[in-house]
Amino acid sequence: MERREMEMEMEMEVVMEKKVERLLNRVSLVFAAIATLALLHLFSHSSLSCAPAPLPTAHRAHGRSQPQNPKPARSSPRSSCDAASREVLTPDKRFAKLRSSRSWRRRADAYAALFSSLRSPTLLSNASHVLCVSAGAGHEVAALQESGVSDVTGVDLVDFPPLVRRADPHNLPFFDDVFDIAFSSGLAGALFPTRFVAELERTVRRGGAVVLAVDRPSSAQEAEGIKALFRRSSLLEARNTTMLGSEMTLFIMKNNGKKRS
């Protein structure tokens, strides 16, 4: 009897194990189905399966379908599908688009007017070798090139091809006395103003000029402090001007070649 009871208990355990196994299999199938549906949902909303945007609701008017409340084109993508559908611009096309913008032209034209006032056979001409330091996006470089000056070099801490190359304004990668004129409107952002000006002077030939465009000094003492930064140049002219609505002063310095004692 005991043996028979043991056999029955073993049979019941086997039956229970099979039931549990079948239940686990069913649960696994349910979770697998849920995971599959989730993946299909993600795939259908990914940029790999971007579908054309539905047309706006239309109504019939005189036999024609007319859109209601058309939305203006967005200036920036708001989804991966939106971004994937846009044309990827090459650097040249992106630069050409930037240069054709109204804000670019406005700033470049302001520099063009400034350089036009500096034109003279002894200061700035088409044959001049010009260095623009802290040139940013290269507005001054473009203005000079468009005015006929072919040899213009623009540098800044961040390059902006093809107008501006990367270089430290405090340690310029140029030999001594290689430029006819150096221009900068970046003195206010220089970490070491004395070193900044010394590098401008070093790269300009004797008899050449360094031109600084700075916010208009509030006092004669401030103006004297700017002139004192120059160790081998003398003041040719300090000229007040207005550029893009800001009051500026141009310090035009002639390089004498030797450091003052």
Q: How high is the mean pLDDT of the chain?
A: 83
Alpha carbons 183 and 210: distance in angstroms, whole number: 6
| Spatial distance between the Cα atoms of 183 and 10, rounded to a whole number of angstroms | 97
- pLDDT at site 184: 98
Residue scoring higher pLDDT (3 or 148): 148
Q: Check pLDDT > 50 for residue 59.
A: no
Residue 195 CA to residue 211 CA, distance in Å, equals 16
**Which is higher by pLDDT, 260 or 166?**
166
58 band by pLDDT with thresholds 50, 70 and 90: very low
Q: Report how far residue 169's alpha carbon sits from residue 171's, in angstroms, rounded to the nearest whole number.
A: 5
Task: Evaluate if residue 110 carries a pLDDT over 90.
Answer: yes
For residue 46, is pLDDT > 60?
no
Q: From residue 252, how far is each of 159, 223, 235 by CA, in Å? A: 26, 12, 6
Residue 238 binned pLDDT confidence (cut-offs 50, 70, 90): very high
What the block records as the tokens of 22 is 């079948």
> Strands 179-184 and 151-156: what pairing?
unpaired
- Higher-confidence residue of 122 and 69: namely 122
Average pLDDT of span 123-142: 96
Give the model confidence (pLDDT) of 134-168 as tens digits: 999 999 999 999 999 999 999 999 999 999 999 99
| pLDDT tens per residue, range 9-39 | 777 776 676 776 776 677 667 666 777 777 6
pLDDT average, residue stretch 80-94: 66
What is the per-residue pLDDT across 184-229, written as a single tens digit (0 to 9) for each? Answer: 999 999 999 999 999 999 999 999 999 999 999 999 999 999 999 9
For the chain, give the percent of residues with pLDDT over 70. 71
Amino acid 14: pLDDT = 67
Question: In Å, how far from its chain's centre is CA 52?
Answer: 31
